[in-house]
Amino acid sequence: MHPLQSVLIEMARFHKLDGRSYRQIASDIHAEHGSQAKYHLDHLLKDGIVVKKKDGTFVVAEDAKRKPLPKAVAFKQIPLLGAANCGDATMIAEDRVEQFLPVSSNIIKRDAGKWFALRAVGNSMNEAKVEGLTIEDGDYVLVDGSDKQPNDKDIVVSIIDGLANIKMFYHDQKNKQITLISRSTEEHPPILIHKKDAGVYLIAGKVKHVIKKPKMNWQA
């Protein structure tokens, strides 16, 4: 094979032939005339070593037959703001990023720009399900901080007098109160919020996803 043809193959491999005139290609391969570039490229095309696609791009035939490499997985960096209690509101809600939780975009396929993560503490929500996953002690809940208008039966993170808590939301219209309900294998009383409690109660966001605590077997 002529040395210039070897150079042209490498140029095709890295898409350096696409959209270029023979004169430009000749300059890149240090040939005297564009006709030399055309001559050697035509030989590669005739022999089927290089293929010109319909869109005008050149590819090496050998590479075209290979399966494309999988795309790199993107990770969403979800800020971890600490912990939230699944029982009574006893965990202090600190709006401070401890670290970031890298979560594959194959797990979270939607926009997560306003999301944050919390560690669930306790088992008072171990029968509640978010996207089919229960919330158990040690799991991470992923919360959409922009979604603060929950519907009945949504799982929410509430801040009660500065303390964070995970519960099922229910708006009791008849009694003009919000009831935060546990869904658990254990018995837990509800938390009752009156409309006058607005100064000490707020919705921090709706739980959208659960990252389960890994079940590891450390036995050799």
Q: Does residue 91 share a domain with residue 200? A: yes
Q: Does residue 85 share a domain with residue 57? A: no
Q: Is residue 220 part of a domain?
A: no
Please state the domain count of the chain. Answer: 2
Q: In terms of DSSP H, where are the helices of the chain?
A: 3-13, 22-28, 34-46, 61-64
Token pair recorded at residue 131: 């996207």
Cα 147 from chain centre: 18
The whole-chain average pLDDT of the chain stands at 84
Report whether pLDDT(10) > 70. Answer: yes
pLDDT digits (tens, 9 = 90+) for 75-100: 888 888 888 888 777 776 666 677 88
The one-character DSSP state at 13 is H
Q: What is the pairing mode between strands 129-130 and 58-60? A: unpaired
Q: Does residue 82 share a domain with residue 59? A: no
pLDDT band at 179 (very low <50, low <70, confident <90, very high): very high
Q: Is residue 69 part of a domain?
A: no
Q: What is the pairing mode between strands 91-92 and 129-130? A: unpaired
Count of helix runs (H) and strand runs (E) in the chain: 4, 14
| Structural domain range at position 39 | 3-64
Q: Is residue 70 part of a domain?
A: no
pLDDT computed for residue 30 by the predictor = 76
149: nearest Cα among 204, 194, 196, 94:
204
Q: Is residue 117 part of a domain?
A: yes
Q: Does residue 89 share a domain with residue 169? A: yes
In the block, which residue shows the tokens 């099922």? Answer: 168
Report whether pLDDT(101) > 90. Answer: no
Q: Does residue 192 share a domain with residue 98? A: yes
Coil vs helix vs strand at 27:
helix
Q: What is the CATH number of the domain that holds 101?
A: 2.10.109.10
Q: Does residue 52 share a domain with residue 83? A: no
Report whether pLDDT(217) > 90. Answer: no
Backbone torsions φ then ψ of 6, nearest 5 degrees? -65, -40
Q: What is the CATH number of the domain that holds 45?
A: 1.10.10.10
22 in Cβ contact with 8 (< 8 Å): no
Q: Is 36 exposed, middle or buried (0-12, 13-18, 19+ CB in 10 A)?
A: middle
Q: Is residue 167 part of a domain?
A: yes
